[in-house]
Chains A and B, each alone.
Chain A
Amino acid sequence: MPAPILEVTNLVKNYGDVQAVRGVSFNVEEGEVFGLLGPNGAGKTTTVEILEGLRTLDAGSVRVCGLDPQVSSRELKHEIGASLQSTSLPDKLRVMEALRLFASFYKRRRDPEELLKRFGLDEKRNAYYSKLSGGQKQRLALAMALVNDPRVLFLDEPTAGLDPQVRREIYDIIEELRRDKKTILMTTHYIEEAERLCDRVAIVDHGKVIALGSPRELKQRSGGKTRIEVKLARPANNGSLQGLEGVADVREVDGTYVLHTQRPPQTIVSLVKHLEAEGNELVSLEIATPSLEDVFIEMTGRRLRD
């Protein structure tokens, strides 16, 4: 088996007193779409920026395409493509000019014309960057990341801040890249995104990897149990809910009771009976099929979003 294209071993990065990354390790194989899933501030972007050679590390080691970004940053940059978070282009740069400009920086190049067509920007070729919509800007960012036909692609929050329809557009593009066997490291705080796009996911929280595996493995690890979220008029005690039929575990997350159960119908019936007996009332009830969110709640006792 060939060496992994990305190797991250016990990576540590501090900003002053803040430990942004605290011993992260993972490998990414060639042709794999690997996701770093976690809330904002979990250290995902810092990890990616160290791999891209934009930041120095404090401890541990990383290798990208067999190169050390600290040492061979120049060489490395020919091999990688990146779409960054919070970046921009000059307002009055035209779409085609941007692609041509960035293509000119590399030894290995793809035809900007072809990229323009593939990313549906052909009609916008002469538009100023400032006149593009959010989705068009993101498509251009992806096209620009591919302009050197990179061996590994870094996508930092590729759909953050986009509306749902545009987000699906971006998903389609990434899925196409996945079919082409492009190696991708992406970060996201959207569960659906990680589940849908990634071959493997590392769930990151407070600078640490708390779970790693394919989305299916991770979900199975939480037992394939259905999640029932209920809000009650008055607080109940966890112990009493734990005793309901089929319930494997109960947690209170931000005032909502999260029950994991293998037998949802029975659990709901017994929940309603229990509340009646207690004189308590159901304010809301939500049923969710198992997702990576459950893994996160199980590991941290918190929700991923917000």
Chain B
Amino acid sequence: MRNFTSLTRMRIQLAMRNKMFFFFSVVFPLVMFFVFSGIFAKSYPRRVRFFLGPVIALNVMGSFWGLSAMLVMFREQGILRRFHVTPVTATDMLASSILANYVLTLPTVFLELLFARMIFHVNTFGDPLALFVLVTVGTVSFASLGLVVASITNTMQETQVLNQLLWLPLIFLSGATLPMGYLPKSAQNLSVFLPATYLVSGLQNSVFSSFPLRKILVQLVALAVWALLSFFVAAQLFRWEPEVKVPRRAKLWAAATVLPFFFFGIWESHNRQMLDQAQAAFHSAEEPDPNPAPKVVTPSIQTIPNSRRARPQP
């Protein structure tokens, strides 16, 4: 336990000293927040609230990118090897990566909520508990995906290629960038097999549609099962040494992490609950705002410059 806490502290310290981390985990998500809220939502509080789900989802999903790269770098440079001659275990190493990543993700999510309230006058975020649990489970599950990526790639190049291949479908086919309502039917049918869809759906249901925790259980359970399985697989495949290449069985193990969303996808294809909810939310966001915020009587143009001024200097 002490190993785990010391390693977590180290990872947080290192991340705070890393400019790349600051850009990808703080600046980039906030830029996305302002693009979505100011441009896509035209600063309408109701639409800002609609887009908060996707914005937070993007932020949370980004976990896997930085985590896989960091771990592969540690392995390539022989840093993990040094830890290997100490009593530190693979589980210590992996679990501390996840916790550090979680602790570092929360402040940005908090900033997004804060800005949504202060700049865009979003006055409620649905059930705060549901939101908190979703962000937690979401961060842990996508961080675990990062650990799996690190365990089935040998070099940084391979890692980045795989990250790209995963990232694009995850953000474009899940409702995280384009709302589900804009996607063609075929893409929607595919989306139910992607973990990102469950995260976006859960977040949108809780933030925008004010669903309580019990009504987003499917999304939570799907992500949690996937997180556990991915973590287990990553621990099985963990390699300390740069010379040890990905074993052949690794591909099978990694393939196993697809299973939860294969089954949840089939199930969701039948009852289509998530897709219907996404559709309903989409239409609801398009409707005129029942209680527009007092200051935002005229759309966007005037409010965007204000929001720009309010943005903290990175």
Which of B2, B13, B87, B240 neighbours the largest number of chain A CB atoms within 10 Å of its CB? B87
On whether A77 and B85 interact (CB within 8 A), knowing A101-B10, A104-B2, A104-B3, the answer reads yes
B17 at interface (Cβ–Cβ under 8 A)?
A: yes
Report the Cα distance A106→B84, complex, angstroms.
13
Q: Is the Cβ of A90 less than 8 Å from the Cβ of B87?
A: no
14 pairs of residues in contact across A and B, judged by CB atoms under 8 Å: A53-B85, A54-B84, A54-B240, A54-B241, A74-B89, A84-B78, A87-B82, A90-B10, A93-B13, A97-B13, A104-B2, A105-B6, A105-B87, A144-B82
A202 at interface (Cβ–Cβ under 8 A)?
A: no
Q: Is the Cβ of B81 less than 8 Å from the Cβ of A92?
A: no
B291 at interface (Cβ–Cβ under 8 A)?
A: no
Encoded as 1 (CB less than 8 Å from any B CB) or 0, chain A from 286 to 303 comes to 000000000000000000
Q: Is the Cβ of B87 less than 8 Å from the Cβ of A89?
A: no
On whether A84 and B17 interact (CB within 8 A), knowing A54-B241, A93-B10, A105-B3, the answer reads no
Encoded as 1 (CB less than 8 Å from any B CB) or 0, chain A from 79 to 104 comes to 01010101111101100010001101
Q: How many residues of A contact B (CB 8 A)?
A: 23
B106 at interface (Cβ–Cβ under 8 A)?
A: no
- Residues of A near B18 (CB, < 8 A) are 92
A110 at interface (Cβ–Cβ under 8 A)?
A: no
Report the Cα distance A90→B10, complex, angstroms.
10
A98's nearest neighbour on chain B, judged by CB, is B10
Encoded as 1 (CB less than 8 Å from any A CB) or 0, chain B from 2 to 22 comes to 110011001001100110000
Q: Is the Cβ of B14 less than 8 Å from the Cβ of A93?
A: yes
Report the Cα distance A92→B19, complex, angstroms.
11
- Residues of A near B17 (CB, < 8 A) are 92
Q: Is the Cβ of B10 less than 8 Å from the Cβ of A84?
A: no
Q: Is the Cβ of B85 less than 8 Å from the Cβ of A54?
A: yes
Encoded as 1 (CB less than 8 Å from any B CB) or 0, chain A from 219 to 255 comes to 0000000000000000000000000000000000000
**Chain A residues in contact with chain B, CB under 8 A?**
52-54, 74, 77-78, 80, 82, 84, 86-90, 92-93, 97, 101-102, 104-106, 144
A81's nearest neighbour on chain B, judged by CB, is B85
Q: Is the Cβ of B14 less than 8 Å from the Cβ of A74?
A: no
On whether A101 and B79 interact (CB within 8 A), knowing A77-B85, A93-B14, the answer reads no
B32 at interface (Cβ–Cβ under 8 A)?
A: no
- Residues of A near B3 (CB, < 8 A) are 104-105
Q: Is the Cβ of B77 less than 8 Å from the Cβ of A88?
A: yes
Q: Beyond the given A92-B18, A104-B2, please list 18 additional residue pairs across the A-B interface where CB-CB is below 8 A.
A: A54-B84, A54-B240, A84-B78, A84-B85, A86-B81, A87-B81, A88-B77, A88-B78, A89-B79, A93-B14, A97-B10, A101-B7, A102-B86, A104-B3, A104-B6, A105-B2, A105-B87, A106-B87
